[in-house]
Structure 1
Amino acid sequence: MLMLSRLLLVALLLTTSPALAADLLGQVVGIQDGDTLTLLTPERRQVRVRLYGIDAPESRQPYGTRAQQELSALAFRKQVRVTVEDTDQYGRTVGRVWAGSLDVSAELVRRGAAWVYRQYNRDPMLPPLEAEARQAKRGLWALPASEQVQPWVWRRNGGRATATAQPSAAGRAGATASSSSTADLSCGSKRYCTQMSSCAEAQFYFRQCGLSRLAGDRDGVPCEQLCR
């Protein structure tokens, strides 16, 4: 009886696993933004696909329109394969999109057209590609630092780079002091995280001075003990 139960379990797994792991094939017939597209399957079914592991600038963000154009250039009207990873809270299929042998998510990050979505990404290859694009100032990384706002921060703040809560007098004084101290910084005076007094200072040396060693794990975040 035990052997029969095991055989039935194996048969069940064999019959259900392919359906769960099946790739989607079809033509890309729509580009919604820099990380979402519409796939038309051979059965004429339209599937909204959110690219796995990345988050592109929103349409109203700096570089948002260009990010959408980059995705369109890579995938629109092309036959692609989607390796399904998940379904998001909006009912969209989350997956890796392959145009031939090209991993579209990875290529967008390499071009500087998307951020690595660290909250959900499990691919260790993506953060180094982002660090490389940042170092080379490709795509959105060529924007002024004030315009390099992560899309998830933009959404959380209601479509703004920063929250609009009015600071107290003490907060305004602190912000003024912080801005002033950042303005007084100059490249070459500090080299290590242990010398940094704040995340803003670490970001200055990382972004403006090219001190890539501050992000030792190459995830694009300098001095993580300060910039958590």
Structure 2
Amino acid sequence: MQYKIRFNGIDAPELKQDFGNKSKQNLSDLIFGKEVTAIFNKKDKYGRFVGKIMINGVDANLEQIKAGLAWHYKKYADEQSETDRKAYADAEIAAKEAKKGFWIMPNPIPAWDYRTVTKTKQETEKANRKYLVGAKGGCYYLNSSGNKTYVDKKFCADIPTVVKVESKPEPKSEKEADETKEIKKSGVRTYIKGSHGGCYYMNGDKKVYVNDKSLCGN
């Protein structure tokens, strides 16, 4: 049976943050494949058990702080015992002074601030998102990389700022149209794309250039 656990009293870097993967690996080295004791004090709103993990009497939560790979999560410090609260706070000060883990950086961004900034950025991008209707009727928007991200068509139906994009061939000039008609009358020709982008066919040993480059597959 598996349990979802929120480590009480600490907050580790998100995986996309500096030292995020390092923090995850350090915790794995501490507890993976070992017999541990979980001391819980509550369940959070997501149904996760909240507590600390002990390995042979060693507090894994505290070890993460000592390694400079987690912050003392003071927002929830009132859920800790007085002893743990002091130990975690002191461990953070010591790790910072020793420049361990992410404390080697001048101003590491706490995980809770990173999440807030990321969420705000995502909400702003979503609010400013412009939905487009493709040539085949699909609904999409351009992500930060400039790539199309397709979504449910309801987004294009409900939002008044929809820009409908239709793919239409450019009209041919009168000269090109006449040229195409003449070509059809004259039978099958092999059209060749020139080195400079021109389109021609061979009439004997002479090159005859045409204006309609689409005949060469352009």
TM-score, scaled relative to structure 2: 0.51
- The number of residues matched between the two structures is 118
In the TM superposition, residue 89 of structure 1 has moved relative to its aligned partner by 2.0
1:151 matched to 2:123? The reply is no
**Higher-RCO chain (CA-CA 8 Å, sequence separation at least 6):** 1
Indicate how the Cα distance of structure 1 residues 59 and 160 shifts in structure 2: closer, same or farther if over 3 A, else same: farther
2:25 is aligned to 69
1:50 is aligned to 6
Alignment root-mean-square deviation, CA: 2.2
SS in 1 for 2:62: helix
**Is the Cα contact below 8 Å between 1:112 and 1:139 reproduced in 2?**
yes
SS in 2 for 1:97: strand
In 1, Cα distance between the equivalents of 2:120 and 2:92?
23
In 1, Cα distance between the equivalents of 2:16 and 2:113?
13
Write out per-residue CA displacement over residues 78-126 of structure 1, whole angstroms, 9 at most, x where no aligned residue: 1100000211221111111001111001111011010000000232210
SS in 2 for 1:47: coil
Equivalent of residue 129 in structure 1, options 91, 100, 104: 91
Q: Structure 1: where are the runs of 5+ without partners?
A: 1-44, 166-228
In 2, Cα distance between the equivalents of 1:88 and 1:70?
25
1:116 matched to 2:72? The reply is yes
Amino acid at match of 1:50: R
Sequence identity percentage: 34
Structure 1 residue ranges (4+ consecutive) displaced by more than 2 angstroms after TM superposition: none
1:140 is aligned to 102
> Which structure 2 residues correspond to residues 95-114 of structure 1 after superposition, within 5 A?
95-114=51-70
Higher Rg of the two aligned structures: 2
Amino acid at match of 2:67: R
1:214 is aligned to none
Write out per-residue CA displacement over residues 108-146 of structure 1, whole angstroms, 9 at most, x where no aligned residue: 10110100000002322101100000000001101242x
Write out per-residue CA displacement over residues 161-212 of structure 1, whole angstroms, 9 at most, x where no aligned residue: 9xx89xxxxxxxxxxxxxxxxxxxxxxxxxxxxxxxxxxxxxxxxxxxxxxx
In 1, Cα distance between the equivalents of 2:17 and 2:45?
22
